[in-house]
Copies of this chain bind each other. A is one copy, B any other.
Amino acid sequence: MPDFSFKVTGYDPFSRARTGIISTPHGKIETPGFIPVGTQATVKSLTPKELKGLGIPMFFVNTYHIYLRPGTDVIARFGGLHKFMGWDAPVITDSGGFQVFSLNRKKYVNTAISEFAVLDREKFTRNGTLKGRSDGVFPDDYRPVGELVRIDRDGVSFTSHWDGTEHRFTPEISMSVQNILGSDIMIAFDECAPYPTTREYSAAAVGRTHSWLTRSIAAWEKNNVRRKNKPYQALYGVVQGSTFKDQRIESAKFVSAAHTDGIAIGGVSVGESKKEMENVLSWCMPNLPEDKPRHLLGVGEIDDIFTLVRHGIDTFDCVQPTRLARMGHLFVNNQIIKSNNQKQKWTIDINKTEYKYDTKPLDRRCSCYTCRNFSRSYLHHLFRVRELLAYRLATIHNLCFVTRLLAEIRKAISRGSLGQLERAWLKSQ
């Protein structure tokens, strides 16, 4: 079985952008590459077959969610996520830490919100808190989960958002769980500090992250020996440090020096502005080795993509394309937006009445199944009457849009025309 490797195949002469190929036991990923999120072992509404048809090379599964449901004992029966999900291409899992620390930021979580955010959107803010319910009265299916995360030097204890049971993650546990999941790329256990945070708290979290990285590597190496007849699992260390330049640089250097297959940048998705994201990347990236792939965790809104690529990010995962799709916010180029008098960038809201009679495809130049077969009017109808097909057709389109953009970016880098593509892309903003 092939091990993990990364080969840089080209550089943009005017930025840190580069093309490359990540090889894993389950297949290759061309970089820069967008990695959709399949939180609960499914990219919401789509089959593996459709994902392959869209050119999705790998997807991201959240260890925390799988650990709780269906549980690692279920995944163990299948020998890993690939067989469980019916997906034979690469899979990346996180350490579980990010979701655990996120619990601290959500006062109330609906057990169904992650699946049906679109249904509940009038009741919820985008990060899962209930709107306008300061009276303290919550329906039965919302349970308090805030402040139920206890961090110590060794790891973190937390309460399940499903059933209130108590659990604990440490670097060793996270590695064992990811070993059972059998992902091609694992992420070391780290602490993602909340945003905003103090310099002091962030420094302490960076300290824990580095000590946990050392322990993650030790556990991973030990497990690799035991797993020797199973497919190799790569490990990425995580750079933290919030928005503090010195901490980010220190963390980038520490993680670069560690013995891992790749490097992830964490803590950029938790609330910083676009400007702060660019700052963080400009501090971290020059301090990372050229020969390891770099993954940006949880970032990749449509208007971030050129920025992160220019800074030398190779892969990034983001829920935005699929989540916006389920809300009816569909990616189109700016000419289409202008002709429809909409003000958003990159997306039109298909729920709007102006699409009721619109017999045109969403984007006549798009070759996705949705655009080849259906009109804006039909999509508008499906969203207005909340038909299940709506979420599918929208997800197919948004994923097609992003993967096509990344393919164009790879081609432009190899031709030295990335700047040109970006200007053309942003022109009509």
On A, residues with C-beta under 8 Å from B are 40-42, 44-49, 65, 69-70, 73-74, 77-78, 84-86, 112, 115-116, 119, 356-357, 359, 369, 373-375, 377-378, 380-382, 384-389, 391-393
Contact = CB atoms under 8 A, between A and B. Distances in A.
Given A46-B389, A389-B44, A381 B74 contact: yes
Contacts of A392: 45, 47, 388, 392
Contacts of A119: 112, 116, 119
Nearest to A44: B388
Given A47-B389, A392-B388, A375 B42 contact: no
Nearest to A381: B70
A86 B372 CA distance: 10
Contacts of A373: 47-49, 86
Contacts of A377: 70, 74, 77-78, 84
Nearest to A114: B385
Contacts of A73: 357
Given A77-B359, A359-B77, A70 B387 contact: no
Nearest 5 interchain pairs by C-beta: A45-B388, A70-B381, A86-B373, A115-B386, A42-B389
A115 B385 contact: yes
B112 A386 contact: yes
A32 to B, nearest CB: 28
Contacts of A374: 86
A382 B66 CA distance: 11
B357 A44 contact: no
A387 B112 contact: no
Contact of A49 (B42, B48, B369): B369
Name the residue in A40, A69, A119, A387 with the highest tally of chain B Cβ atoms < 10 Å from its Cβ: A387
20 contacts: A40-B381, A42-B389, A44-B387, A45-B389, A47-B389, A48-B373, A69-B385, A70-B356, A70-B381, A74-B356, A77-B357, A77-B359, A78-B359, A84-B377, A84-B378, A85-B378, A112-B119, A115-B385, A119-B119, A388-B391
A393 B393 CA distance: 16
A388 B47 CA distance: 10
A386 B116 contact: yes
Contacts of A369: 47, 49
Contacts of A65: 385
Contacts of A116: 119, 386
Nearest to A377: B74
Contacts of A115: 385-388
Nearest to A66: B381
Contacts of A380: 70
A86 B393 CA distance: 12
A184 B256 CA distance: 67
A78 B377 CA distance: 10
Contact of A40 (B41, B77, B359, B385): B385
A385 B110 CA distance: 12
Given A47-B369, A70-B384, A115-B388, 19 more contacts: A40-B385, A40-B387, A44-B388, A45-B389, A45-B392, A47-B373, A47-B392, A47-B393, A65-B385, A69-B381, A70-B377, A70-B380, A70-B381, A73-B357, A85-B378, A112-B386, A115-B385, A115-B386, A388-B388
A393 to B, nearest CB: 8
Contacts of A393: 47
A39 to B, nearest CB: 9
A393 B392 CA distance: 13
A147 to B, nearest CB: 25
A359 B84 CA distance: 8
A214 to B, nearest CB: 34
